[in-house]
Chains A and B, each alone.
Chain A
Amino acid sequence: MFEYLRDPTVLLSTIIFFPAAAALLLCVIPGRHAALIKLTALAATVAVCAASLIPACAAGGNPVSFSLHDGGFQQVVKLAWIPSFNIEYYLGLDGISYPLVLLTTFLSVLALAASWKIEKAVKAYCVLFLLLETGMLGVFMALDFFLFYVFWEVMLLPMYFLIGIWGGPRREYAGIKFFLFTLVGGVLMLIAMLMLYFAGDLTRLSPEQLIASHIAPETAEAVASVHTTGPLHTFSLPALSEMGRLPNSPFAQRQWLGQSLEWWAFLLLFIGFAIKLPAVPVHTWLPDAHVEAPTPISMILAGVLLKMGGYGIVRICYPICPGAAYDLAWFVCGLGVLSMVYGAFAAMAQTDFKRLVAYSSVSHMGYVLLGLGAWSAVAGTQYSTAGWQMGVTGAMFQMIAHGISSAGMFFLVGVVYDRVHHRDLNQFGGLFQKMPAYSGLSMIIFFAALGLPGLCGFIGEFFVVIASWQYSAVMAVVAAGVVILTAGYILWTIQRVYLGPEYKGPHGDALGPLSLREWAIILPLVVLAVVLGVYPRAAIDVMSPSVKRHVEQLTDWTKTRDQTASLSVSPSSSATTPDESGEKGVSRDDRRQWPPVVAVEPNSPLKTAVLHSLQKENDAPAEIGGRRP
């Protein structure tokens, strides 16, 4: 049986659909065997977690082993699904998605273990939970935009019911708010997806690009055959990103209301992902959903679902619409900084423990936005991928770290809520005396969220702040300043909850030590928080080849763009015909301006040192053309 798992098609499909199959199996178990149902579901999540570890553990020669030296997609699965729209069942893993897949399968096991206290309609709960896991894993593995969208929306229904049925007192309100916000984002994404699909044209790609984006040979032949007859549309994300980076991208050519199609598509996609992330003006669903959701669902929500927003931005927004991303990078980063500051201040003002953690998520995901968004393709006077690569790595690391720390925090809140049945911060205090082990573990997780060096939260924030310096010193300073705010609310929380003379709130006698099950859930999170803080390379080594590839592609694009811009400025070059390759320059409209907030500062010693450490493998930097100093 395990022989079959050597085939990527079987392995990846198993990882995605095993939970759904287990959910079907649960449907036939009579509802009165609650323990059996929970055990089956737990076994299913454990099996999926084990299966998702196969690529990491398999030996080098194995076809499904995950290589740390390949930045492209691995274990690619590609089967035709709906030929009339050229939709494919197209899956793959790379350094950006694989860590998130592992995070998802791992947190699913913990969250299901944390669901043991659920007693209402256990069967329905487990079925929905497993369907949710299928949706989450599908999102991270899909490389076809349509497939991605389907999985993205598939998560909606289980999540709605999980919040709406098993949630707190205002669960209906929170559920519908979550559904509504996500559906709005989904519809915007659908519109952008269709725009990109009909604007894209595979015949514009060179054979190398077609191979790079895994267009199957028969399609490549199809491209050759229809070269004269008309465009060939695709939903393939790699192919769309190749098209988006063409010197005269098909997405940049059409205009609508004074902006290019690419600009609109970027905006629609970005809003869709920002809702999920969530970034500040569209974050309001998050505190409600978190507060009302049962503890395990909060863990999944904070640990995995929020990451999809960041993943979408790095997988779809930036590679496919680089032109618009370049123009709007200040907007993306500005939103990130705003989320950080707003989230931190809002967290400080909360008296509900869960709400505080929810707002801390908003603040932490702001770092992700800043790290992904900062278009730091230029260091000093040279093109360099080092700084930006650090930013993206930082953002990716922050996602993993936040997945661990926020899931941990929600679980810790849940532990104490189970005992005293309230979450009012002002009624806590003195937990340290009653539950010393719990309090100690809590402090580690909370300090990890705070960004204490040596714990996982530090690396991401540090990388992001350093990298964004290149893009905008002001934003970097503000981002660094937010660390102080974070320390403020976390320390204040620790003081209000764990320190103090004695617990005076209700149900004080219920505060007993952690059960074995609770230990089993929190300990892996604590261990991971420490391990990733001490040895971040465990994650960074997996990410960096893909991050490097992502950043290099966009930096090359920037280079081409700047040269083009500089050529079109000088009158002699305006006659250049746009048929040569990007290096020669193509006359494009001079509409794009350098982002207004860019400030290139003299390198500080610390920054130089960090940059050097990352710059070893980079190509020889090119000269900058155009209007740069």
Chain B
Amino acid sequence: MSIYELMAGTLYDLWPQSLRAFAPELALCGAIVCVLLVRVVLPRLPVAVWYVAMAGAAAALWLILPDLTRTALGELSGGEIFTGMLIADGYATVLRAFFLAFALVFIAFVQASKLLDDDADATELSVLALSAVLGMCVMVSANHLLMVFLGIEMASVPCYVLAGILRRRRPGSEAALKYAVYGAAASGVMLYGISLFGGATGSLHLPTMAHRLAELLASPAAAGEATLLIVAGLMLAVGLAFKLSAFPFHYWAPDVFEGAPAEIGAFLSVASKAAALGLTMRLAVCLAGGGAEPSSLPMAAGVGEQIASRAASPAGSDGRERVMIDRERTAGGENAALEAHAGTDRPALHDRAWLQASLAPARKFLYSLLALLAAATCTLGNLAAYGQANIKRLLAYSTIAHAGYLLMPVCAAVVAVGNDPSAARSAVAAMLYYLMIYFFMNFGAFAVVAAVRQAGGDERIESLAGLGRRSPGVAVCFAAMLFSLVGIPPLAGFAAKFVIFGSLVRTDLYLLLAIGGLNTVVSLFYYLRVVRLMFLREADAGAKPLVVPVFSTAGAYIAAFAAPLLLFFVWWDGLLAWAEAAAMALV
């Protein structure tokens, strides 16, 4: 391939397709730069930083809206962008919109909750939060293991710093250090796993990897490669499990959540977790034989041909056949030896059925691994939460348990990819829906913790005693969030849990379902402990009166997080349909 062809192809791909789909992230990048500059331009007005950051997040959200609408209508034909490194499908679009909305809410919330004594520190916080969100967007749209790693690092490194954002607090610094050390170790292991995977399959491009994996598993040489593949898969899982705070890599979570301010806890427990789950789901479904067909790979030979074909049919409706050809060529482009080998003894085009049949062992491995992770994470999180005396530690273990619940639909999707695509789709939708609800209930819970801190309370659970008497509105909202986390109707947490359990029943994962059900009952104890303190106990005689009025900024915030829990229970069909539409892209 000549340099000219390469450049022409890149340009052709870059401008009309990739950059347009990547516009929200570009806006985010622009916002980061603006936030850094605003201190120079307006040194007297430090508060402007907040609004610039919010405006940046809002602009990014605005830019992603058209794609979001098209996803909901099922019209988004988003394919691979940047030569197959990223993918801008409906699944990625919905999750990116989630993160951008999260960024907006988060920054507004941190400003309102007065976490920082000095608005001058707002620059750091905004830049870090926005760049972490940028990394998360990359994570969920990654279509290549390098981008996976890049995305994870882009999202993680700002998080390490965010954990210690209050520089003068020792526990915060300790948390940040712990987080960074554990995180670095997990990243290293993951990178090693990625390189092993690349070596074994000859590619890091996810769909190509799935095909290579299928060929490997179908060939007689599979037995020899099995150990290598398993080790690579486990190493990859280590990195993801760390981000997910899944058992046995959850140890950082309670310490970091305890040390970091509640606002940062909300950031880590909702956004960071959602990104890791979105990524895990895509990886698992892709390697199980689902996922998108690689649609345009101009890096491969034959760019000129592609340009010609596009010129012939500008709408790009020539999808399928070209896809197949491209894939073969891509593979060739990445690994000539394999191409030569493949070209001789197998049919030129693989169909989906062949792929899925060959990947059955991979599915079995993935399923067992994920089911084990889900069950262990869920159970451990719930059991450990019971003994906690600090509300942030309790919520940390609660998020660990919820990572377990959220892994269950991933498991169901992997199982169903092979034989029942519609079940797999609804499992993906279940996870997305749970994430959306989880945003409200978990962010809300951390918002209450932040409000209690601002009102002069401390982080012991006991300090909440009697809150129901003194601040009934806030206490009722907090109780609604906690009961929603348990999954009791009429709150949206129940609908979310219902959808997840439904996906388990649909794929006959009854054992996992039983574990999930049992965990629901166990989780009642510790959530109810908080509720009991608020409503059934009086505060100690000597304690400072703790009042968080509803008619205040904090109260309004908390109510704004609690109200959707009721709303999305009464009306959850729309949200679920949206999630289903997004899931179409993946399976």
Residue-wise, chain B 342-369 has the 8 Å CB interface mask toward A (1 for contact) of 0000000000000000000000000000
Known: A85-B502, A164-B536, A198-B502. A188 touches B517 (CB 8 A): yes
Instruction: Place the interface of chain A in its size category.
Output: 20 to 34
Known: A179-B524, A183-B521, A187-B521. A164 touches B502 (CB 8 A): no
Which chain B residues lie closer than 8 Å to A149 at the CB level?
489
Taking the complex as formed, is B532 at the interface, i.e. its CB lies under 8 A from any CB of chain A? Answer: yes
Interface-centre pick from A149, A153, A165, A187 (highest chain B CB count, 10 A): A187
Interface 9-residue window, one of B310-318, B405-413, B453-461, B572-580: B572-580
Taking the complex as formed, is A511 at the interface, i.e. its CB lies under 8 A from any CB of chain B? Answer: no
Min C-beta distance of A581 to chain B, whole Å: 31
**B488, A84: Cβ atoms closer than 8 Å:** no
Interface 9-residue window, one of A64-72, A189-197, A399-407, A495-503: A189-197
Which chain A residues lie closer than 8 Å to B535 at the CB level?
161, 164-165
Instruction: Place the interface of chain B in its size category.
Output: 20 to 34
Known: A84-B580, A179-B524, A191-B517. A154 touches B502 (CB 8 A): no
**A187, B520: Cβ atoms closer than 8 Å:** yes
Q: 26 A-B contacts, Cβ less than 8 Å apart? A: A82-B573, A83-B573, A84-B576, A84-B577, A84-B580, A121-B469, A150-B490, A153-B494, A156-B488, A157-B483, A157-B488, A160-B528, A161-B535, A164-B535, A172-B536, A175-B532, A176-B525, A176-B532, A180-B524, A183-B520, A187-B521, A188-B517, A190-B517, A191-B501, A194-B505, A256-B510
Taking the complex as formed, is B506 at the interface, i.e. its CB lies under 8 A from any CB of chain A? Answer: yes
Which chain A residues lie closer than 8 Å to B520 at the CB level?
183, 187
Taking the complex as formed, is B498 at the interface, i.e. its CB lies under 8 A from any CB of chain A? Answer: yes
Which chain A residues lie closer than 8 Å to B528 at the CB level?
160, 176, 179
Which chain A residues lie closer than 8 Å to B514 at the CB level?
191
Of the candidates A84, A183, A188, the one whose C-beta lies within 8 Å of that of B524 is A183
Taking the complex as formed, is A38 at the interface, i.e. its CB lies under 8 A from any CB of chain B? Answer: no
**A190, B501: Cβ atoms closer than 8 Å:** yes
Q: Which residues of A133-190 are within 8 A (CB) of B?
A: 149-150, 153-154, 156-157, 160-161, 164-165, 171-172, 175-176, 179-180, 183-184, 187-188, 190
**A165, B536: Cβ atoms closer than 8 Å:** yes
**A121 CA to B469 CA, complexed, in Å:** 9
**A578 CA to B413 CA, complexed, in Å:** 35
**A81 CA to B524 CA, complexed, in Å:** 28
Min C-beta distance of B470 to chain A, whole Å: 12
Taking the complex as formed, is B513 at the interface, i.e. its CB lies under 8 A from any CB of chain A? Answer: yes
Question: Closest 8 CB pairs between A and B?
Answer: A194-B505, A187-B517, A150-B489, A82-B573, A153-B489, A164-B536, A198-B505, A84-B576
**A179 CA to B525 CA, complexed, in Å:** 10
Which chain A residues lie closer than 8 Å to B573 at the CB level?
81-84
Which chain A residues lie closer than 8 Å to B521 at the CB level?
180, 183-184, 187
Residues on B facing A (Cβ under 8 Å): 469, 472, 483, 488-490, 494, 498, 501-502, 505-506, 510, 513-514, 517-518, 520-521, 524-525, 528, 532, 535-536, 572-573, 576-577, 580
Min C-beta distance of A195 to chain B, whole Å: 6
**A160 CA to B529 CA, complexed, in Å:** 13
Closest Cβ neighbor of A172 among chain B residues: B536
Of the candidates B505, B576, B577, the one whose C-beta lies within 8 Å of that of A195 is B505
Min C-beta distance of A23 to chain B, whole Å: 12
Which chain B residues lie closer than 8 Å to A154 at the CB level?
489-490
Min C-beta distance of A147 to chain B, whole Å: 10
Which chain A residues lie closer than 8 Å to B576 at the CB level?
82, 84
**A179 CA to B572 CA, complexed, in Å:** 26
**A191 CA to B514 CA, complexed, in Å:** 8
Which chain A residues lie closer than 8 Å to B483 at the CB level?
157
**B494, A164: Cβ atoms closer than 8 Å:** no
Which chain B residues lie closer than 8 Å to A188 at the CB level?
517
Which chain B residues lie closer than 8 Å to A190 at the CB level?
498, 501, 517
**A82 CA to B521 CA, complexed, in Å:** 26
Closest Cβ neighbor of A167 among chain B residues: B536
Which chain A residues lie closer than 8 Å to B488 at the CB level?
153, 156-157, 183
Given contacts A191-B501, A191-B513, 9 further A-B contacts (CB under 8 A): A84-B573, A153-B488, A154-B489, A154-B490, A175-B536, A183-B488, A187-B521, A190-B517, A197-B502
Min C-beta distance of A153 to chain B, whole Å: 5
Which chain A residues lie closer than 8 Å to B518 at the CB level?
187
**A195 CA to B518 CA, complexed, in Å:** 17
Min C-beta distance of B225 to chain A, whole Å: 36
Min C-beta distance of A189 to chain B, whole Å: 10
**A171, B489: Cβ atoms closer than 8 Å:** no
Residue-wise, chain A 197-228 has the 8 Å CB interface mask toward B (1 for contact) of 11000000000000000000000000000000
**A84 CA to B472 CA, complexed, in Å:** 36
**A198 CA to B506 CA, complexed, in Å:** 6
Which chain A residues lie closer than 8 Å to B524 at the CB level?
179-180, 183
Min C-beta distance of A273 to chain B, whole Å: 17
**A180 CA to B536 CA, complexed, in Å:** 17
Closest Cβ neighbor of B506 among chain A residues: A198
**A197 CA to B572 CA, complexed, in Å:** 18
Min C-beta distance of A143 to chain B, whole Å: 17
Min C-beta distance of B317 to chain A, whole Å: 26
Which chain A residues lie closer than 8 Å to B494 at the CB level?
150, 153
Which chain B residues lie closer than 8 Å to A82 at the CB level?
572-573, 576
Closest Cβ neighbor of B576 among chain A residues: A84
Closest Cβ neighbor of B579 among chain A residues: A84
Closest Cβ neighbor of A161 among chain B residues: B535
Which chain B residues lie closer than 8 Å to A161 at the CB level?
535
Which chain A residues lie closer than 8 Å to B572 at the CB level?
82
